[in-house]
Amino acid sequence: MIPLVEGAPPQDFELSAEEAAALVAAKVVRIAPGSRAGLWRIRDNGYVGAATIGGVEIRIRPKMPMDRLFFLLGYARSLKGWRQEAVDAGEHPDLLPALAHAYARAADRALRQGVLQGYLEVEESLQVVRGRIREADQIRRRYGLPLPVEVRYDEFTVDIAENRLLLAATTRLLRLPGLAAPTRKMLRHVLARLAGVSILTPGRPLPEWRATRLNTRYHTALGLAELVLRGASYELDDGTSVRVDGVLIEMWRVFEDFICLALSEAFRSYGGRTDLQDRRHHLDEGRWVPLRPDLVRYVIGSDGVERPATVVDSKYKIITGPDGSNGDLYQMLAYCTVLGLRRGHLVYAKGETEPYRHVVHRAGIEIVQHAIDLTLQPAELLDTVDRLAGSIIRYGDDRELVPADSR
């Protein structure tokens, strides 16, 4: 077992050539040859969680408190469910036991009032007519025979998307090592309550569910269930999908989602609208080089035309090396140039960089680096984001917009 801490210096571990090759291929950790044969220097590569890869168990502990991590995860754009409710992660310092504990508590609370039921559309062959006859299927499959009848009907059942997600997450967690005995006991109770629910087909997309008044008590459990299931796979840089035996979370994506959504909400009181991951802009006139800033705020000018007013990019960690964060600055310079803005904003996690202002030589463009302290309590963290939004508006007000046709 290889225990790591996010952001900590590399450590030396003994691995076989096959084990090292498996870790290199998965790209979950950064690995380099050590001081002698069979020894490898290993550190995290932006993930936290636990997984078994090539027979090697990897555990990566986040550098922030666990309750803070779950608060940030509530803003993940790929998940929904627990934004307005505190998640009980217990006293577990590692992600996987904490996630299992939080999910088991949330699922137990959700099911305590009974298993949610809903209407499910069913298509099958029956000896009697129920619901609506599928005439095309009847003719194609039965060649004019009256029975059996191809029908479609709605059934009131527990076998709905919400319960399928809970069953899949519960089953997955029970297969993983390192969970506390009380957590496993609670998960087995959850599993027993979900009798009659279908198992998800491996490799198929997760079923979609919609937040309604009827499933309010399920929201937190469903958000955590999706985290368990989505954290079991990820994409490499080449687009290859990799499944892992465990749960891994990309911290840069968690930070990006939190900053973008929290800032977008904070900007609402100042008017305008915000686009996240705005894909409409390109660096070149031929539109061969796409740009995708994390957040662009638009306002309508005095001439009635909507133009970009603010651009923000989040950076969880500065790239190491002799150039430091230079690449981030070049990227923001491109955003400001294309959007016609005199100021751009880079938001880092505090500890990776400190606030600083860069004035680009001969361009008249200013790039401001901000730092957010992720160790703050949730209310203080949101207050910090609100103040950041206010400072961005004050130092980049709409009067500084440069119409593209006048630049």
Task: Please list the residues that pair with 5 across neighbouring strands.
Answer: 61
Provide the pLDDT confidence category of residue 401 given band limits of 50, 70 and 90: very low
Q: Judge whether residue 315 has pLDDT over 60.
A: yes
Provide the pLDDT confidence category of residue 167 given band limits of 50, 70 and 90: very high
Of 192, 175, 188, nearest in space to 228 by CA:
175
Provide the pLDDT confidence category of residue 320 given band limits of 50, 70 and 90: very low
**Average pLDDT of the residues in 3-16:** 91
**Average pLDDT of the residues in 71-82:** 70
Helical H segments across 36-131, by residue range: 66-73, 95-111
DSSP class of residue 216? G
253-406 is a CATH 2.40.230 domain: no
Cβ contacts of 324 within 8 Å, gap of 6 or more: 318
Check residue 25 and give its pLDDT.
Answer: 85
Check residue 352 and give its pLDDT.
Answer: 55
> Does the CA dihedral 116-121-127-132 come out positive or negative?
positive
Q: Judge whether residue 297 has pLDDT over 70.
A: yes
pLDDT tens, residue by residue, 215-240: 888 888 888 888 888 765 544 444 54
Cβ contacts of 340 within 8 Å, gap of 6 or more: 307, 308, 401, 402, 403, 404, 407
Mean pLDDT score of the chain: 82
Provide the pLDDT confidence category of residue 90 given band limits of 50, 70 and 90: low
**Average pLDDT of the residues in 182-196:** 92
Instruction: Concatenate the DSSP letters of all residues of 249-301 into one string.
Output: EEHHHHHHHHHHHHHHHHHGGG-SEEEES--S-BSSTTS-SB---SEEEEEE-
Assigned token pair, 230:
């989505």
Domain ranges of the chain: 1-63, 118-157, 253-406
